[in-house]
Amino acid sequence: MWKMGFKEWLFIVPTIVLIGIFSLWPVFQSLTYTFFDYRLNDQQKAGLYFNERFNVNLYKETQLYVTMFLDEDLPNVKDPADQKKVKSVNARLKSVGKQFANEKGVIKISRDQRADLVNLHHDAKNLVEALNGKYTLIHKDDLPALVDDIQNSIIPSNFIGFKGYNKIFHDDRVGIALRNTTLFTVVSVFIELVLGIGLALILNKAMFGQGIVRTTSLIPWAIPTAVAALMWSYLYNGSSGIVAHFFENVGLVKQSQDLLLSGPGAMASSILSDVWKTTPYMALLLLAGLQNIPSSLYEAGSIDGAGKIQSFFKITLPLLKPSILVALLFRTLDAFRVFDLIYVLTGGGPGGDTETLSIYAYKVMFGQTNFGYGSIIVMMMFICVAIIAILFVKFLGANLMEKN
């Protein structure tokens, strides 16, 4: 048995490095985010913090405005004792600021420094509340919120462990998205398989202009998905869409607006668009399998009296099985991760009836900038896709994969 030596391993190192960078690292990064309450719209959660931290930039900005506003309100403070308190708090704010004059970003602080900040926030908050109760301040509405940012500059740990995974099992929206994704995948892939087999049989026939026919049939697949979805959105438009009015005239829908404005109509429209675009891809995969079937088998079947239908079920389908299963694997994985088609066509609406897992993850991560929970949804998709792939490969078996 031949074994790889050191020199042989060197040839595959670049491939391993590329796989690690472009495939494994994003998965590892997403997995890391799932253990944190990571939100870019919250200054206290805009990073991955195992331990408590201090936001120097936030404190410096807060200290600047608080001291400036207190100085501006000082002439309105008549009691000398209160004036002394204002000056004392301002001095403490500036003193703490000097401690971190050379620091930036988010840093670690000692327990004593943290205690000083907590006490400073407590004293400043009590002072502002007392002043607002006794005097008419210029910045009476701004100071309370600014003072709270002294406390907010102390960033607690946002490490949550597996709590996020527990949340996903109680999120009804995830269940709806998973149901929509499964429905879209099963129906669209089944229709594409049936139509793909038929198209592949046609393309496999010797005919005049065979090259032109094959090229033309692949045009839908060649069109970018976002462009195809935008094109279909015009065709489905309730006021001017040709397809929408055609379906209304033949009685498939009551009103042309139902295609995109009703849940069942939007899902059916999305499936139809996906079938139109990806059926040629399915046919192309199956065509490669058909061309590997020897014509002598059909001649022998014809001699034995087998008709077209018998030849299809007794010769074509059994020998096409490896190609069918591989095509199903590719299309199922692709359909389960559908995003651009539905996002452009319906945006996941109406009312979330076409919202898939990928669209929900996108909305959570980039709409709400909640990368922690969004990554959990992505990891759920990753697990589902992995399960689908394992089941298909298990069903295919090593022999079928090798034959194909």
The pLDDT, as a whole number, for residue 397 is: 56
Question: Do 200 and 141 fall into the same domain?
Answer: no
- Nearby residues of 176 by Cβ (< 8 Å), 6 or more positions away: 352, 355
The rounded Cα 180 to chain-centroid distance in angstroms is 15
Q: Is the peptide bond before 350 cis (omega within 30 degrees of 0)?
A: yes
The two tokens of residue 116 are 């000083």
The pLDDT, as a whole number, for residue 318 is: 84
At residue 206 the predicted structure's pLDDT band, cuts being 50, 70 and 90, is low
User: Looking at the 3D structure of the chain, how many domains does it have?
Assistant: 3
**Structural domain contains residue 236:** yes
Question: Do 240 and 112 fall into the same domain?
Answer: no
Tokens 């996941």 map to which residue? 348
Question: Do 353 and 212 fall into the same domain?
Answer: yes
- Distance CA(10)–CA(322), nearest Å, equals 34
Query: What percent of the chain is predicted at pLDDT more than 70?
Result: 95
DSSP designation for 85: H
The three-state secondary structure class of 3 is coil
At residue 396 the predicted structure's pLDDT band, cuts being 50, 70 and 90, is low
- Give kind and range of the element (H or E) at residue 393: helix 371-403
Question: Do 196 and 226 fall into the same domain?
Answer: yes
Question: Is residue 153 within 8 Å of residue 60, measured between CB atoms?
Answer: no
The pLDDT, as a whole number, for residue 46 is: 87
Question: Do 180 and 150 fall into the same domain?
Answer: no
- Per-residue pLDDT of 128-179, as tens digits, reads 999 988 888 888 888 899 999 999 999 999 999 999 899 998 899 999 999 9
Question: Do 332 and 357 fall into the same domain?
Answer: yes
Least confident of 182-186, 275-279, 385-389: 385-389
Least confident of 26-30, 112-116, 390-394: 390-394
At residue 373 the predicted structure's pLDDT band, cuts being 50, 70 and 90, is very high
Boundaries of domain holding 12: 1-30
Interval 321-337 mean pLDDT:
89
- Give kind and range of the element (H or E) at residue 16: helix 6-19
Question: Do 83 and 11 fall into the same domain?
Answer: no
